[in-house]
Amino acid sequence: MSPAELLAILMVVAVCTALMAGYPVALTLAGVSLAFAVFGHLAGFMKFAILGALPQRIFGVMTNEVLLAIPMFIFMGVMLERSRIAEDLLETMGRLFGTLRGGLGISVVIVGTLLAAAKGVVGATTVTMGLIVLPAMLRFGYDKRLAAGTVAATATLAQIFPPATVLVLLGDQLSNAYQVAQISSGVLSPQTVTVSDLFAAAIIPGFSLVALYMLFLIAVAIFYPETSPAMPRQRGGLRGFKLAYRFVEVLIAPVALILAVLGSILGGIATPTEAASIGAVGAILLAWRKAGLDRPLITQVAQKTAQITSMIFTILIGATLFSLVFRALGGDDMVHRVLTNLPGGANGAVLAVMLAIFLLGFVMDAFEIIFVVVPIVGPILLKMPGVDPVWLGIMIAVNLQTSYMHPPLGPTLFFLRGVAPPEITTRHIYLGIIPFVLIQLMMLMMLWFAPGLATSLPHALYGR
C-alpha cells in the first residue's frame, strides 16, 4: 500500500469520525476532502490542480435532467402531508380489518404502503404515520415495541417503493458507473440503466417486503395475542356495503395518483422527470380537494421542498469533491485491487460491498452512501462477469433501507422519536425495529438467491 492510498483510507476514517461527532454531513464531506487535498498536494501525493474539474462536475449535476425529478417528487410528498388522505385511509382500513386480532397492524402496513408509493419520501411518511398511527395503536392496547417497530418499518417502504427519491439518485449514479465500466472494458457504444429500470425492478421486492411484514404481524397476533388485540366494534359505525363503499371512496385518490405517476413511467409514456411533474400537480389537486389551498400553505410547502432539495444537492456536491480527492490519492485503484482479489470472484466482491454498505449505515445516511460509495465501487463491480446493474441497484436499495433504521443515526428513528407519544421511549423504538431489520436482511438473501425478483419485470417491460 502506497502512502497516498494510506492517506485515502485516513480520509475515509476522518469523515466517519466527524459524522459520528455530529458535524453536518455536506460540510464534513467537503471540508475533510479539501483538507486532505491540501495535505496531499504539499506531500507530493497529488496535484491540487485536479480540483479544477469540480466546477464542471457540479454543473453536470445541476443540469442533469434525471435529477430534476427530485424536487418535484419531494414537493408531491410534502403537499400530501397537508391533505387528509392518510387519516381517511387509516380510519376506514381500521374499521375494515381492526376487529380482527392484529388487524390494526395489518391496516397500518397497507396504509403505509399506499403512502410510500404516493409520497416517495421517508421523512414525510414517518411523520405522518407517527402522528396518526402510534396514538391509535397504543389506545387499543398494542405492545409499544410492536407499534413503534411497525410504524418505523412501514415508513421506510417509501425508500424502496417507486417513486422513491433514493431510487432516482441511485439510478443516476448507477447509470454513470455502468457507462464507465463499459467504456473502460472497450465498449464504444455503452448500454445504460435508467431510473425507470429501477422503478420496475423495485416493485416485486417492495411487495414481497410488505407480505413478509404482514406475515410477521399475523404470527405475532397468533402466538402473542396480548401484543396486538382486536379493536372493539363501534356502535353506529359504518358496516357492510356502506363500509365497503367508504373504503373504495378513500382509496380512489391515492391509487389514482400512484397509477398516474408509475403508470406513465412503466408504460413508457413519460420519463421519471415528466411523471414527477404529473405527481406534483396531482398532489396539489388532492390537497385542494381535501383541505383547500391558500398562500400560506403553498409557501410552507415550497419552503420545505427547497430545504430538503438543497440538503440533498449540497450533500451531492460534497460527495463529488470527496470522490475527486479519493481518486486523486489512488483510492479507487486500491478498492479495485481489494475487490478483484477477494475469494469468490464477483460474488465475493458483491458480498463485501453489501457488508460494507450495511456497516456504513450505522454512521452514514443513505444519500451519503449513494453519492460516496456507488461512484467508487460501481464501475468495479459492473465490470465483473454476471453482475447485472439492475439487480445490483435493488440489492443496494434494500440494503440502504436498513440504514434508515440503524441506531444511532437512523433517520427514521429520529423522525419517529420526534412525533411519538411520551409513553414511547427510545428503547421501545430501538427494540421494536429489530425483527423488521431482520426481515429486510431476509429480503436481501431472497434477492441474492433469486435475482429474478428484481430483473424479471424490467426484462418483461423493456427487454433488458
- Kindly state the average pLDDT of the residues 69-97: 74
Q: Which of 166-175, 231-240, 261-270, 387-396 has the lowest mean pLDDT?
A: 231-240
Q: Max CA-CA distance within the chain?
A: 80
Q: Which of 156-160, 274-278, 308-312, 407-411 has the lowest mean pLDDT?
A: 407-411
User: What is the value of pTM for the model shown?
Assistant: 0.80
Q: Which of 7-16, 122-131, 162-171, 183-192 has the lowest mean pLDDT?
A: 122-131
All three cell numbers of 1: 500500500
- Kindly state the average pLDDT of the residues 336-363: 82
Number of H helices, E strands in the chain: 21, 0
**For residue 408, is the peptide bond before it cis, meaning its omega torsion is within 30 degrees of 0?**
yes
All three cell numbers of 323: 470522490
What is the rounded CA–CA span in Å between residue 23 and residue 35? 15
- Kindly state the average pLDDT of the residues 237-245: 61
pLDDT of residue 215: 94
What is the rounded CA–CA span in Å between residue 383 and residue 180? 9
pLDDT of residue 443: 93
Q: In whole numbers, what is the pLDDT of the chain averaged over residues?
A: 81
Q: What letters, b where the CB count within 10 A reaches 16 and e where it falls short, cover 89-104? A: bbbbbbbbbbebbbbb
Q: Which domain holds residue 291?
A: 3-462
- Kindly state the average pLDDT of the residues 100-106: 83
Task: Return the CA Rg of the chain.
Answer: 23
Q: How far is CA 226 from CA 107, 136, 427, in A?
A: 18, 16, 20
pLDDT of residue 24: 76
| Cell 445541476 found at | 62
Cβ count within 10 A of residue 295? 7
Cβ count within 10 A of residue 46? 22
The 10s digit of each residue's pLDDT in 163-202 is 788 888 888 889 888 888 888 877 767 778 888 889 899 9
361 neighbors 425 (Cβ within 8 angstroms): no
Q: How far is CA 432 from CA 145, 147, 409, 424, in A?
A: 4, 7, 16, 11
pLDDT of residue 27: 82
Q: Which residue has the higher pLDDT, 198 or 342?
A: 198
Give yes or no for residue 124 having a pLDDT over 70. Answer: no
pLDDT of residue 291: 65
Domain count, the chain: 1
The 10s digit of each residue's pLDDT in 431-455 is 888 899 899 999 999 999 999 999 9
The 10s digit of each residue's pLDDT in 203-236 is 999 999 999 999 999 999 999 888 888 776 655 4
Closest C-alpha among 414, 417, 308 to residue 367: 308
Q: How far is CA 56 from CA 52, 60, 66, 318, in A?
A: 8, 6, 17, 14
Positive or negative, the CA dihedral 325, 330, 333, 337 is negative
**For residue 163, is the peptide bond before it cis, meaning its omega torsion is within 30 degrees of 0?**
yes
User: Residue 59: CA atoms inside 13 Å, Cβ hemisphere, count?
Assistant: 5
178 neighbors 248 (Cβ within 8 angstroms): no
What is the rounded CA–CA span in Å between residue 411 and residue 431? 16
pLDDT of residue 126: 76
Give yes or no for residue 238 having a pLDDT over 60. Answer: no
pLDDT of residue 422: 82
314 neighbors 300 (Cβ within 8 angstroms): no
Closest C-alpha among 394, 404, 380, 385 to residue 458: 394
All three cell numbers of 240: 357492510
What is the rounded CA–CA span in Å between residue 256 and residue 263? 10
pLDDT of residue 247: 67
Q: What letters, b where the CB count within 10 A reaches 16 and e where it falls short, cover 435-460? A: bbbebbeebbebbeeebebbbebbbe
pLDDT of residue 243: 63
pLDDT of residue 241: 63
Give yes or no for residue 133 having a pLDDT over 90. Answer: no
Q: Binning pLDDT at 50, 70 and 90, where does residue 408 land? A: low
pLDDT of residue 393: 92
365 neighbors 403 (Cβ within 8 angstroms): yes
Positive or negative, the CA dihedral 32, 37, 38, 39 is positive
Q: How far is CA 351 from CA 433, 444, 454, in A?
A: 24, 11, 17
Q: What residues contact residue 209 under an 8 Å CB cut-off, 6+ apart? A: 157, 160, 398, 439, 440, 443
Cβ count within 10 A of residue 35? 13
- Kindly state the average pLDDT of the residues 63-82: 77
